[in-house]
Chains A and B, each alone.
Chain A
Amino acid sequence: MDAEIMLRVDGTEHRLTVDTRTSLLDALRERLAITSPKKGCDHGQCGACTVLLDGRRAVSCLALAVAHQNADIVTADGLAVDGLHPLQQAFIEHDAFQCGYCTPGQIVSAVGMLQEAAEGWPSVVTRDPSADTVTLDDAEIRERMSGNLCRCAAYVNMVPAIAEVAP
């Protein structure tokens, strides 16, 4: 079964015909040649395929492209507008990766995570979940980023990279 859809990716509109089985991740990578979202597990467990989907971080492997008609998607590519995004720069300065495969997903996830924290969303390690504001200490960053795995275990440098950009 084919379906015609429109996706807005990093500010550019794309019209394409997809099989209903096509994930958003495969539509981006295989059909539109937008390869910054990576395919790690393809089961929603590793976070390498994380994009901002209509403003929120999401794993694109578990989203069917056909179910996200007219979606607004931001990938790691699209974060660099006038030069690198502050998080991209911080990852470089803190050497927050080794092989780099999970890095686009880590950075997009961190962008979404910082927005969630700015809106006052608690996490399970937040001492007072009813508080209006949250302070992103290392424990908060680790908890909120736990949906992004790094097989090289570069976490120890990612945490300070994200902390540097966090307000």
Chain B
Amino acid sequence: MSLFSELRRRNVIKVALLYAVASWLLIWIVSHLVGGVGLSAWVSDYILLLLAIGFPVALIFAWTYEITPVGLKKAVEVDQTQSIVYKTGQKLNAAVAVLAVLGVAAVIGEQLLPEFEPPPPLVLEEIPLKPVFDFSAKAEVPREITSFNLPNGLEIIVWPDHDIPNVVLYNFVRAGGRNEYPGITGIAHFFEHMMFNGSEQREQGEFDQEMEAAGGANNAYTSNDLTVYQDWFPRSALKTIFELESDRLMRLAIDPDVVETERTTVYSERRLRIDNDNFGRLYEQVRATAYVAHPYQNPVIGWPSDIENWTQRDLEDFFKTYYAPNNLTMIFSGDVTPEEIYLLADQYLSPIPRQRPPPAITTVEPEQQGERRVLVEASAQTPLLHVVFHAGAEGDPETLHLELLLAILAEGSSSRLYQTLVEEEQIALDVGAWQSGGFDPGLAYFAMTLTPGGDPLAAEARLLGLLEEVVLEGVTAEELTKARNLRIASFWRSLQTINGKASALGNYEVFTGDYENLFAVPEQLGAATAADLQAVAANVFRRSNMTVGVLRAPLDEGEQ
């Protein structure tokens, strides 16, 4: 009797087949559980290992033992005439067949019954944006932009652009300085660092190593309102990017040793941007003075004692709450189609479990009741003067008017403030103005670097005089045209690159609730009038709404 026929007789081959089919089904089920209900990935690895070890054991068992009407017996001890191996074999065949049918049905069923809506329509032809210069019309919303939501709440927008074989991903996380409170200031920014520091599957450093080896690069920034992650990569790295992004969102490791190293890195960043840079020192103090209640008063990088003291628990809670898919918006722009992004997102990102929405930030900064002042004494050859006023939130209609007004006042060397303060009177070496509104009302911010030995009080008086002029007399038609042209040119400039497209689309989606608002910018610029600008000036540039910050050398040092 050959070994093979004896293997057949003892049903070893059928057992092997049954084992294989059952294992395959088990693996299929587990891999879907890992995706669906957030079962850890190690579980599937563990089961795979057990199944592999079990295989030879099962075969040896099948060879050695035989099922008889009176129970298990060693095969060599069974009387061949009494053997029921044939019947057992038929049962095994039936079991294989049932399991195989179940498996095939599951796989087919999965194909036939998608978990959510079918893929978006076929990719539309990419049409260059039609230039709009006359401000009378909306720019057309490019038809090739597609957006969809995964069932877990993750919002995805795709802007195909095939000019270069590259792709940009912006992941907007709705977490920033605004979501912090005493004890954990700086934690959103700290997460911006921790997100690169390893997962349960990847050691610290492997995220970046894999991304860069595939040709990609990344960065991230944190603001008062958002933490934004950026990946720039060749099309060929698309799948790698999905693997890496889903891994860190699903299985971030918050290793206590790594946390300690990263604290010192962040401290170094704080020394770089704030402690050893006079602008940073004053900026931090001015914001902390202008706000008394709203969390915009805290520096995004965090107060030093908070950087030193947040706990493992703080970090875990923050991650769970704010890095939930329902708190993210991802923008892809570049050499991709919506279909492939949809399919990859379904595979890699839809398994991330939804969480309860983050707590709402309800604190409203109370109306300021009189001007505030803050002085920073520091070693300085050139004094700094910052003057700020409470203004609007990003989505407010007034915000565009203020943006135009600030362009007239301080954008470029033809602006009012530059011409007067820098060119004509030489009070300042430089002057800048911007507004910082986000989800909540921000500040209109004026910053001047004074000429060496300059008098901050005199400079302040001159600045306020110029602002009062705008309140009383408004702006000229020529100035309004210039400001509109500056904005329309920067609108087009921002849409030159796939990076600019992703950034602009994401910011409009997150702050205004609809990315299509981006394309209304030309029309809105056209609708703004000189009266609108004067009205916003009158509303914002009030002394009782003002905080003044000065940085200068201590007086005894300055007088030497």
A complexed with B: no
